A and B are shown apart, each in its own frame.
Chain A
Amino acid sequence: MAAHSAVLSMSKIINPFWGGRLGNTVKCCTLSSMQLITYEMLMLQPPPAKYGGRHTVTLIPGDGIGPELLNHVKEVFRFSCVPVDFEVVHVNSALESEDDINNAITAIRRNGVALKGNIETNHTMAPSVKSRNNLLRTSLDLYANVMHCQSLPGVQTRHKNIDIMIIRENTEGEYSSLEHESVSGVVECLKIITRNNSLRIADYAFRLAREKGRSRVTAVHKANIMKLGDGLFLQCCREVASGYPDITFDSMIVDNTTMQLVSKPQQFDVMVMPNLYGNVVSNVCAGLVGGPGLVPGANYGRDYAVFETATRNTGKSIAGRNIANPTAMLLAGCMMLDHLRLYDYASMIRNAILTTMNETRLHTADIGGQGTTSEVVQSIMRNIQSKGPLTTDL
Chain B
Amino acid sequence: THTHTQSWVTLVLLYVMDATTDYFHSMQTVTLIPGDGIGPEISSAVMKIFEAAKAPIRWEERNVTAIKGPGGRWMIPPDAKESMDRNKIGLKGPLKTPIAAGHPSMNLLLRKTFDLYANVRPCISIEGYKTPYTNVDLVTIRENTEGEYSGIEHVIVEGVVQSIKLITEDASRRIAEYAFEYARNNQRSSVTAVHKANIMRMSDGLFLRKCREVAEGYKDIKFTEMYLDTVCLNMVQDPTQFDVLVMPNLYGDILSDLCAGLIGGLGVTPSGNIGANGVAIFESVHGTAPDIAGLDMANPTALLLSAVMMLRHMGLHDYGNKIQTACFDTIRDKKVLTKDLGGNSKCSEFTADICRRIQDLD
User: B170 within 8 Å of A by Cβ?
Assistant: yes
Distance in angstroms between the alpha carbons of A36 and B255 in the assembled complex: 46
CB-based nearest B residue for A256: B257
- Give the chain A neighbours of B110 by CB distance below 8 A: none
Report the separation of the CA atoms of residues A276 and B234 in the bound assembly, to the nearest whole angstrom.
17
Task: Give Cα A195–Cα B115 distance, bound, in whole angstroms.
Answer: 35
Produce 1/0 per residue, A243-281, CB < 8 A to B: 000000000001110111111000000000000110110
A229 near B161 with CB under 8 A, answer yes
Q: Is the C-beta of A41 less than 8 angstroms from some C-beta in chain B? A: no
Complex: chain A residue closest to B238, CB-CB: A287
- The segment out of B54-62, B224-232, B324-332, B352-360 that lies at the interface is B224-232
Which residues of chain A have C-beta atoms less than 8 A from B167's C-beta? 186-187, 189
Beta-carbon nearest neighbor of B266 in chain A: A259
Tally of contact residues, B, Cβ under 8 A: 54
Tell me whether B153 is interfacial, beta carbon within 8 Å: yes
Per-residue contact bits, chain B 256-271, to A (CB 8 Å; 1 contact, 0 not):
1110111001100000
Residues from chain A with a CB closer than 8 A to the CB of B206 are 185, 187
- CB pair B203–A287 under 8 Å, yes or no, is no
Among the interface residues B158, B159, B161, B197, which one has the most CB atoms of the partner chain A within 10 A?
B161
Task: Quote the shortest CB–CB distance from A317 to chain B (angstroms).
Answer: 11
**B236: A residues at CB distance < 8 A:** 261-262, 284, 287-288
B265 x A263 contact (CB < 8 A): yes
Q: Report the minimal beta-carbon distance from A390 to chain B, rounded to whole angstroms.
A: 39
Given contacts A187-B166, A189-B164, A228-B161, contact A134 B199 (CB under 8 A): yes
- Whether A321 sits at the interface, judged by CB under 8 Å, is no
A131-B199, A279-B228, A284-B258 are known contacts. Are A186 and B161 too (CB-CB below 8 A)?
no
**Which residues of chain B come closer than 8 Å to A158, judged between CB atoms?**
132-133
The CA of A121 and the CA of B204, in the complex, are separated in Å by 14
Q: Name the B residues within 8 Å of A129 (CB-CB).
A: 201
Report whether A123 and B205 are in contact in the complex, using a CB–CB cutoff of 8 Å. Answer: yes
Give the complex CA separation of A348 and B131 in angstroms: 39
CA distance A255 to B261 in the complex (A): 10
On whether the beta carbons of B131 and A187 are closer than 8 Å, the reply is no
Q: A14 CB to closest chain B CB, in angstroms?
A: 15
Cβ of A258 and Cβ of B257 under 8 Å apart? yes
Let me know if A188 and B201 touch, CB within 8 A. no
Identify which of residues 140-161 in chain B touch chain A, using a CB-to-CB cut-off of 8 Å: 148-149, 151, 153-155, 158-161
> B254 in the interface, Cβ–Cβ < 8 Å?
yes
- Nearest Cβ distance between residue B80 and chain A, in whole angstroms? 25
Is A209 located at the chain interface by the 8 A CB criterion? no
Q: A370–B236 Cα gap in the complex (Å)?
A: 22
B133's partner among A191, A259, A262, A311 (CB-CB below 8 A) is: A262
Q: Is B200 at the interface (CB under 8 A from chain A)?
A: yes
**Contact assessment for B265 and A174 in the assembled complex, using a CB-CB cutoff below 8 Å:** no
Residue of A nearest to B131 (CB): A263
Across the interface, which residues of B come within 8 angstroms of A394, CB to CB? Answer: none
B199 pairs with A177, CB closer than 8 A: yes
| B163 contacts the other chain (CB 8 A) | yes
The distance from the CB of A269 to the nearest CB of chain B, in whole angstroms, is: 19
Residues on A with C-beta less than 8 A from B261 are 258-263
Shortest Cβ distance from A183 into B: residue = B168
A191 to B, closest residue via Cβ: B163
Closest to A232 in B: B161
**In the complex, which residues 92-133 of chain B have their Cβ closer than 8 Å to any Cβ of chain A?**
131-133
Cα distance A229–B257 in the bound complex, in angstroms: 22
- Smallest distance from the beta carbon of B130 to chain A beta carbons, Å? 11
Per the bound structure, the CA–CA distance linking A287 and B232 in Å amounts to: 8
Given A127-B205, A258-B258, A262-B133, A194-B199 contact (CB < 8 Å): no
Q: Which of B166, B196, B256, B266 contacts A186 (CB 8 A)?
A: B166
Given contacts A123-B197, A189-B167, contact A196 B205 (CB under 8 A): no
B199 close to A228 (CB less than 8 A): no
Interface flags for B50-69 (1: CB within 8 Å of A; 0: not) read 00000000000000000000
Q: B240-277: which have CB < 8 Å to A?
A: 250, 253-258, 260-262, 265-266
Is there a chain A Cβ closer than 8 Å to B11's Cβ? no
B165 touches A195 (CB 8 A): no
For residues 177 through 202 of chain A, which have their beta carbon under 8 Å from a beta carbon of chain B? 177, 179-181, 185-196
Q: Is the CB of A280 within 8 A of B228?
A: yes
Structural contact, B228 and A190, CB atoms closer than 8 A: no
A72 within 8 A of B: no
Closest residue of chain B to A277 (Cβ to Cβ) is B254
B155 partner residues in chain A, CB cutoff 8 A: 228
Q: B162 on the interface (CB 8 Å rule)?
A: yes
CB neighbours of A360 from chain B (8 A): none
B203's partner among A189, A277, A312 (CB-CB below 8 A) is: A189
Residues from chain B with a CB closer than 8 A to the CB of A313 are 230, 233
Digitize A282-317: 1 where CB-to-B-CB distance is under 8 Å, 0 elsewhere: 111011100110000000000000000001110000
Complex CA distance for A362 and B163, rounded to whole angstroms: 48
CA distance A222 to B251 in the complex (A): 12
CA distance A258 to B158 in the complex (A): 32
Q: How far is the CB of A168 from chain B (nearest CB, A)?
A: 12
Question: Which A84-126 residues have C-beta < 8 A from chain B?
Answer: 121, 123
Task: Indicate whether A196 sits within 8 Å of B159 (C-beta atoms), given known contacts A189-B167, A262-B258, A263-B261.
Answer: yes
Q: B202, A179: Cβ atoms under 8 Å?
A: yes
Which chain A residues lie closer than 8 Å to B133 at the CB level?
Answer: 158, 262
The answer to whether B170 touches A185 (Cβ under 8 A) is: yes
Instruction: Check B163 against A229 for contact (C-beta < 8 Å).
Output: yes
Q: How far is the CB of A29 from chain B (nearest CB, A)?
A: 26
A188 to B163, alpha carbons, bound, how many Å?
10
CB distance from A287 to the nearest CB of B (A): 4
| Chain B positions 163 through 180: 1 when the CB is less than 8 Å from some CB of chain A, otherwise 0 | 111111110000000000
CA gap between A381 and B254 in the complex, in Å: 42
Chain B residue numbers with a CB within 8 Å of A312 are: 229
Contact present for B257 and A194 (CB under 8 Å) = no
Given the known interface contacts A127-B205, A158-B133, A174-B199, the answer about A193 and B232 at a Cβ–Cβ threshold of 8 Å is no
Residue of chain A at shortest CB distance from B164:
A188
Contacts of A260 in B (CB 8 A): 261
On whether the beta carbons of B228 and A226 are closer than 8 Å, the reply is: no
Contact between chains at A180 and B202 (CB < 8 Å): yes
Nearest CB on B from A264, distance (A)? 10
Are A229 and B153 interface neighbours, CB within 8 A? yes
Q: Does A42 contact B (CB under 8 A)?
A: no
A-B contact pairs, 29 of them (CB 8 A): A123-B201, A130-B201, A134-B199, A158-B132, A174-B196, A181-B202, A185-B206, A187-B167, A191-B164, A192-B163, A195-B158, A195-B159, A222-B253, A226-B163, A232-B159, A254-B253, A255-B253, A255-B258, A258-B261, A259-B257, A259-B258, A259-B266, A261-B258, A262-B132, A263-B132, A280-B232, A283-B230, A287-B233, A312-B229
Closest 6 CB pairs of A and B: A195-B159, A259-B261, A287-B236, A185-B169, A127-B201, A255-B257
